[in-house]
């Protein structure tokens, strides 16, 4: 079963996270909605729990855990590794500029670009507070958190399947309590134990799937549910910000997932349009490449500002941002925003086609061969009743 509307929403949310990170003073950059759009990462976590439970909630045993984790690793790591390789090349370019006295901010291979931090990124250890800041490809903290949460889910599915809902409720609530106590009551944690944030959303998604499976799989919610859930989510993001209210994100986005899973409303019909479906298909790439594009753009702007070519950098709420109005070209801010989204989508389409799809195909084949090998070795009646099934398309589209 393909959850087309939910996949499309994931694409929209990925673009909103990209706009949240864009260091440009464009016409919506100071709106509460964009300033708080970091919360849409929690939608990713909830949806991930929902679709992983749909695909594997009733089908994991000890023999299938290995192939399951291999599939998930193969879904996340190849693009992540490719971007890290590209960023290493960029740092080498920064090093060359430094040799000619051209500074673009932080010295090469220092701070977030330290080689030790690179090792943490490569092994998905960048969401456990092992480094004082986000490292290399900043958004990658969330896929680190997801991979380790998959392992936790596998343990629950194997050893506590009949009590999965209760365990999931406990996991989600315990994670939210930990965030409330140790993160000053905010959801805005990333490298600093973002894995806890992921657990809160992911297991809320697991619970949401079980509710949908039991009560709503065969029937839709009331006709206005999609509109109400969308309006509620937008209002929540605007109001919650970095306050304690943000801890309600897993519950709010669970309602959104529940409302759109049936795909019976007008908004679901709109989200089935080709551009939205493409955004959903490329959502993982969109999310993963945008920070690198920002890095290249912002350092060019910073270099131009430092060399007096054009004053472009301003301080907004303690952060450096590009503002073309300093050279009487305020229109360029909005043009830059549109061009930024267009470039991200174009790059994401290419990385999806040439990195994600081939890598996913290869890892899925490897996992399938592993599963079949286990079945042959175990023999009939040994407890592995069937090989791992292919993931539903929405799972394959990206986390």
Distance of alpha carbon 398 from alpha carbon 283, whole angstroms: 6
Q: What is the DSSP-derived secondary structure letter of residue 391?
A: P
The residues, any chain, with a CB within 8 Å of residue 204's CB and separated by 6 or more, are 45, 46, 49, 168, 172, 250, 251, 253, 254
Contact present, 136 and 112 (Cβ < 8 Å): yes
φ, ψ dihedrals at 384, nearest 5°: -105, 100
How many other C-beta atoms lie within 10 A of the C-beta of residue 122? 15
Q: What CA–CA distance (Å, rounded) separates 70 from 92?
A: 32
pTM over 0.75: yes
pLDDT at site 103:
66
How confident is the prediction along the chain (399 residues), in pLDDT tens digits per residue? 678 999 999 999 999 999 999 999 998 888 999 999 999 999 999 999 999 999 998 878 888 899 999 999 999 999 999 999 999 998 898 888 788 776 666 678 888 889 999 999 999 999 998 888 888 999 999 999 999 999 999 999 999 888 999 999 999 999 999 999 887 778 889 998 899 999 999 999 999 999 998 888 766 677 789 999 999 999 999 999 889 999 999 999 999 999 999 888 899 999 999 999 999 999 999 999 999 999 888 888 887 777 777 778 887 877 888 888 887 788 888 999 999 999 999 999 999 999 999 999 999 999 998 888 876 666 554 443 333 444 444 443 344
DSSP helix/strand/coil, 30? coil
Question: What are the strands, taking DSSP E only, across the chain?
Answer: 313-316, 319-322
The confidence score (pLDDT) of residue 104 equals 64
Q: Give the side-chain half-sphere CA count within 13 A for 38.
A: 20
Crossing angle for the helix pair 249-261 and 40-56, nearest 10 degrees?
50
Which ranges of 212-318 does DSSP label H, i.e. alpha helix?
225-240, 249-261, 266-271, 274-281, 283-306
Q: Are 287 and 17 in contact (CB under 8 A)?
A: yes
Confidence at residue 330, expressed as pLDDT on a 0 to 100 scale: 83
Predicted confidence at residue 380, as pLDDT, reads 56
Angstrom distances, CA of residue 118 to CA of 98, 135, 261: 21, 7, 38
Can you tell me the distance from the alpha carbon of 237 to that of 275, in angstroms, rounded to the nearest whole number?
24
pLDDT for res 112 = 85
Spatial distance between the Cα atoms of 272 and 278, rounded to a whole number of angstroms: 10
What is the model's pLDDT at position 372? 81
Name the strand (E) or helix (H) holding 70.
helix 62-99
* Cβ neighbours for 122, distance < 8 A, ≥ 6 positions apart: 81, 84
118 and 136 Cβ atoms separated by less than 8 Å: yes
């Amino acid at each position: 079963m393909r959850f087309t509307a939910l996949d499309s929403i994931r694409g929209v949310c990925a673009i909103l996270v990209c706009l949240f990170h864009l260091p440009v003073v464009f016409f919506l950059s100071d709106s509460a909605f964009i300033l708080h759009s970091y919360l849409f990462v929690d939608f990713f976590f909830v949806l991930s729990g929902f679709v992983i439970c749909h695909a594997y909630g009733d089908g994991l045993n000890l023999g299938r855990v290995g192939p399951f984790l291999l599939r998930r690793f193969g879904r996340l790591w190849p693009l992540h590794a490719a971007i890290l390789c590209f960023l290493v090349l960029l740092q080498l370019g920064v090093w060359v500029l430094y040799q000619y006295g051209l500074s673009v901010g932080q010295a090469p291979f220092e701070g977030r670009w330290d080689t030790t931090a690179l090792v943490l990124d490569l092994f998905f250890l960048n969401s456990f507070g092992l480094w004082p800041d986000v490292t290399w490809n900043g958004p990658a903290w969330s896929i680190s958190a997801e991979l380790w949460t998959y392992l936790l889910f596998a343990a629950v599915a194997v050893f506590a399947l009949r009590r999965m809902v209760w365990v999931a409720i406990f996991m989600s609530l315990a994670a939210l309590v930990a965030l409330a106590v140790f993160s000053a009551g905010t959801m805005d944690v990333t490298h600093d134990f973002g894995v806890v944030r992921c657990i809160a959303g992911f297991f809320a998604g697991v619970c949401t799937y079980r509710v949908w499976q039991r009560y709503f799989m065969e029937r839709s919610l009331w006709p206005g549910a999609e509109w109400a859930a969308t309006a509620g989510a937008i209002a929540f993001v605007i109001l919650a910000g970095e306050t304690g209210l943000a801890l309600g994100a897993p519950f709010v986005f669970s309602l959104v997932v529940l409302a759109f899973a049936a795909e019976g409303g007008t908004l679901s019909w709109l989200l089935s349009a080709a551009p939205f479906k493409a955004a959903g298909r490329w959502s993982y790439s969109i999310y993963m490449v945008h920070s690198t594009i920002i890095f290249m753009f912002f350092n060019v702007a910073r270099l131009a500002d430092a060399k007096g070519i054009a004053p472009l950098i301003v301080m907004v709420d303690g952060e450096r941002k590009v503002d073309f109005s300093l050279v009487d070209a305020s229109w360029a801010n909005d043009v830059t925003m549109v061009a930024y989204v267009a470039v991200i989508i174009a790059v994401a389409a290419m990385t999806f086609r040439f990195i994600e799809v081939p890598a996913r195909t290869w890892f899925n084949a490897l996992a399938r061969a592993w599963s079949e090998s286990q079945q042959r070795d175990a023999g009939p009646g040994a407890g592995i009743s069937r090989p791992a099934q292919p993931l539903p398309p929405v799972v394959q589209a990206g986390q």
